[in-house]
Amino acid sequence: MRACELATGLVAAGENWVDAVGAAERALADPGCRASAPCVSKALGALVCAGELVVADAHSIALLDESPGDRAMAEHVLLVRAQVARRTGDLARCAALLEALRDNGSEDEIRPEVLFWSVELLAALGEPRAAGAVLRGYGGSGALLLAAEAVVAMASGRPEDALTGHLAFGQATGVANPAVLPWRSWASRAALACGDTGQARRLAAEEHAAACRWGEPRALGSSLAAVAACSSGGEALVAYERAIRLLELAHARAELAHVLCDYADHLTAQGKQAAEIYGRARATALDIGHDALVRRCGIVRGDGPALTPVETEVARLVRAGLANREVAARLAMATRTVELHLTRVYRKLGLSGRRELRTLRTHRGASDGFPA
């Protein structure tokens, strides 16, 4: 078996990442592999999944220098560099690389991956409409399309569709290794949003067990965060703290910022002080240029424009999950009036819409902001 095939097989099985790295390195030392875009792609992909991001990026740069004018090689390598950037939290570079691949018409072999990671990044950045536009422009089929549709559904406030899509992807592909695609963690969060705590816990536990078999810190941290999200009390606190340490070890800044904010939310719900954790989350989000997460972590301060009592109540009910017509019935006002109040809330708080409002944390007092 060729070294690149061995590396790919070990990654797919989700076991023995040390041997996977060794096989990938042997493949990349072989001139025959270095001349083949598919072989290079498999070997570099194994390094990325094993968390060897610096090594993967160094090989990528060297391969681009060695193969001037080889478009296929360039596209495979640029996709790997985009994945490295995504996993290290360099979101601007990831977005630029993926956009270049889309604009230049990437090869059919990697086009589904370019589509998926483009959609995933836009959704993670709080831009579900842009993610949906990329998805609609694809016009293809396949398992990654199922995953992309599920990501957009979750970002658009449709957790039922997201859960169905992620489970369909898992069934269609049998992906075991969360370092390849953490579909169980995503499905767990969708199940939790649907109110199915039992399924959420089961999926998160399966994901964490798979991450333990693989052993890479980023996958372990992300899976523990999913476990924490559907846990309570001391169990959740321990899981969040372990997840944060692992994500720091992996230098997974984007995931770390999200988990810090989730942890702070959990502490707040338990009546504990969380200002320092929100501050760390916000600093990390600022560092990676994640504006939506910055706002969620508490960019709204007491010196900003205050909401009126009616705007505060409308916003509170929307954050509780009520639709506009339900808010209107609760407050005895027209639906159009609710919409006008919401528009003012979004403008005052610098939000793009309902999704950001529902995840926002605020440091205002109770008289001019939301209850914690």
User: Letter for the amino acid at 320?
Assistant: A
- Separation CA 369–CA 319 (nearest Å): 12
Whether 61 shows a pLDDT value over 50: the answer reads yes
pLDDT in tens, 113-122: 999 999 999 9
CA atoms within 13 A on the CB side of 360: 28
Q: Which two tokens stand for residue 165?
A: 């899509």
- Separation CA 268–CA 372 (nearest Å): 7
Residue of 72, 64, 42 lying closest to 180 (CA atoms): 42
Of the listed ranges 54-68, 153-167, 301-315, 348-362, the least confidently predicted one is: 301-315
The four Cα atoms 323, 325, 354, 277 give a dihedral, to 10 degrees, of -50
Of the listed ranges 143-152, 213-222, 256-265, 273-282, the least confidently predicted one is: 273-282
Highest mean pLDDT pick, 40-44, 297-301, 339-343 = 40-44
Whether 322 shows a pLDDT value over 60: the answer reads yes
Whether 248 shows a pLDDT value over 60: the answer reads yes
Q: What is the DSSP string of 33-73?
A: HHT-HHHHHHHHHHHHHTT-HHHHHHHHHHHHHH-TT-HHH
Q: Which two tokens stand for residue 19?
A: 């041997």
